[in-house]
Amino acid sequence: MKVLIASGAGGGTAKKSIGKYFHLQEFGSALERLGVEYKLVRETEYVTGFPSKDVKGWFSKKKFHSLIKEYKPDVVFCDCQSHFALETIKLGVPCFTYLRGNRWMEVEWAKKTIYKDPLMKTVLEMRQNIAERVFSECQGIFMTADYLDKVIKEHIPNAKTFHFLEGLDASRWYPVEGMTLKHPCVGMCQDANWWGKTKEMLTLDQVIKQMPDVHFYWAGDGQYKKPILEILEKYDNFHYLGTLDYPDGVRKYLTEIDIYALPTGMDTTPLSCREAMAMKKPIIGTSVGGIPEMIYHEKTGFLVGEGDYQAWIKNIRLLLHDRELAKKLGDGARKLLLEKFNWDIVAKKFVVVAETYMSEQKSKSLPE
């Protein structure tokens, strides 16, 4: 079997946004270990379309057609729902797409914030129309968290969904020197791209204020960076680091922090959290979306309610004073990562789904 993997936006709080591409290479390597041939490409290098900023790409799909003709994939795995996936479907090539979050909720947030302008709303709606068509016409939707199944079925009732817990090669995540932070410290590593997610970071306003002896670090960027910094930078014990080199800068950062924090208003199974798990960090995260599927309360970290700054203070103090507990939770987090977020397991599931589909199609083509 030959699998073409198309990576969408890079993602992750890393310079050059290479985080997701980096880890899709790991997925490809896991497929190779199963005897499956793969090719990984960045989708925007082959096909774009209106309303993308690459105007030239609106009028030519030659490079994309050449890729499909020359590589001849049995199936295509599209990291996001855009023109690459749509053109794959139009050519009749089996296409599976990957959903990392609640796209419908993100679109509604965008309409109320950065896409208030009528023109930008139109652009957003066109992109969503493309995504809806991909969801409806693809061979299956792989989702990164169980809770997304209900969300998908509300919008695409007949969608075929498959659980796809994105893996992580833990051997690439190990302690390295090179960054010095003030201690004790709590570290965040997340972008501020969706206000519905990002606004939960403001819960830390009271946390940082009431814990002047603890240093709080944020690595990340995004269009909502400014309103967050306007509130949190007034404290001397808050430090903004910007984006980090990937993966080396993120490794150094995770090596140095004492606790990993994930304040979010909605999320699935974020990459940065899995990286913190691999580095044996005790984690505190907001109990929303798919977060409870990766942070097991009091076993690999602590879950807190939205806006509950008192729970943040309580759990941070507990972890900083009880280092044995912090180590136990960190060890538990890495153990869970190895058992649950494992590329070899994920790759086997994908191959079973793809081979089952191809077998069914072959049976349908045989004369009765």
For 186, counting Cβ atoms within 10 Å of its Cβ (0-12 exposed, 13-18 middle, 19+ buried), the class is buried
pLDDT (0 to 100) of residue 350:
95
pLDDT (0 to 100) of residue 207:
98
**Ranges of the chain with pLDDT below 50:** 10-16
Please check whether residue 261 is in contact with residue 248, taking contact to mean a CB–CB distance below 8 angstroms. Answer: no
CA distance 357 to 341: 24
Please check whether residue 141 is in contact with residue 162, taking contact to mean a CB–CB distance below 8 angstroms. Answer: yes
Omega of the bond prior to 51 within 30 degrees of 0, cis? Answer: yes
CA distance 323 to 229: 30
Record the tokens describing residue 72, joined without a space: 């001849």
pLDDT (0 to 100) of residue 120:
77
pLDDT (0 to 100) of residue 16:
41
Question: In Å, what is the CA distance from 185 to each residue of 182, 259, 269, 284?
Answer: 7, 7, 23, 13
Omega of the bond prior to 247 within 30 degrees of 0, cis? Answer: yes
CA distance 138 to 217: 41
CA distance 358 to 69: 19
CA distance 94 to 76: 6
Q: Domains of the chain, with CATH numbers?
A: 2-167+342-365 (3.40.50.2000), 170-340 (3.40.50.2000)
User: Whose CA is closest to 131, among 80, 57, 55?
Assistant: 80
CA distance 81 to 90: 14
pLDDT (0 to 100) of residue 223:
87
**What letter would DSSP give residue 45?**
G
pLDDT (0 to 100) of residue 14:
46
The 140-143 sheet, strands edge to edge: 37-42, 2-7, 75-78, 95-99, 140-143, 161-163
**What letter would DSSP give residue 171?**
G
**φ, ψ at 3 (rounded to 5°):** -115, 125
